[in-house]
Amino acid sequence: MAATKDPRPCSIADALTLVGEKYSLLVLREVCLGNGRFDQLVRNIGAPRDILATRLRRLVEAGILTKRAYSERPQRYEYRPTQAGLELEPVLMTLMAWGDRHLRKDDDRPMVIEHICGNELVPLVTCQACGGTVDHADLTAHPQAPGWTVAGPSAA
């Protein structure tokens, strides 16, 4: 009998094993803001230095960040997002918008993002095909993995 330990195969889960650990998405936030230096990350995120070092290694090896020297003698490094890292920014924006809407009173947003169009960014998640916004009621899930239905594993 197989192990009772095969969770649903899922790209959300896979993405979270890379960026779901504590502080990882905050590292990405700072790095996208242009703050890629170690001490800056420590101050702006408030994470322990050793944990931060671990996360940075992991994000670099995952291809989400790159480490580059901005000075030889003395050697000094900074972290910058890769293309894959930059493509996580929409996730951050969507999460920030959710936090602004549900966790704050009125308009006390700690950060406003300006879009190139000149307006304040209010991110919407839309369907590429029809352009409509993505709402729960409009979605139907189709698991592709063999042995899995929406409800769970079939015929264990």
Map the footprint of DNA across residues 40-69, applying CB under 7 A: 40, 47-51, 53-54, 56, 67
Q: Based on C-alpha coordinates, what's the Rg of the chain?
A: 19
Rounded distance, CA 123 to CA 113, Å?
A: 10
- What distance in Å separates the CA atoms of residue 149 and residue 147, rounded to the nearest whole number? 7
**Looking at beta carbons only, is 72 or 106 nearer to a second copy?**
106
Measured CA to CA in angstroms, residue 51 lies from 3, 23, 57, 60, 138 at distances of 32, 9, 10, 14, 40
Residue 30 interacting with DNA (CB under 7 A): no
Q: Any contact of residue 33 with a second copy (CB under 8 A)?
A: yes
Which among a second copy, DNA, none contacts residue 154 (Cβ within 5 to 8 A by kind)? none
CB of 69 to a second copy, least distance (A): 20
Among residues 50 and 106, whose Cβ is nearest to DNA? 50
Per-residue x/- track, 68-107, DNA (CB under 7 A): --x--xxxxxx-----------------------------
Residues 37, 40, 44: CA angle, nearest 5 degrees: 140
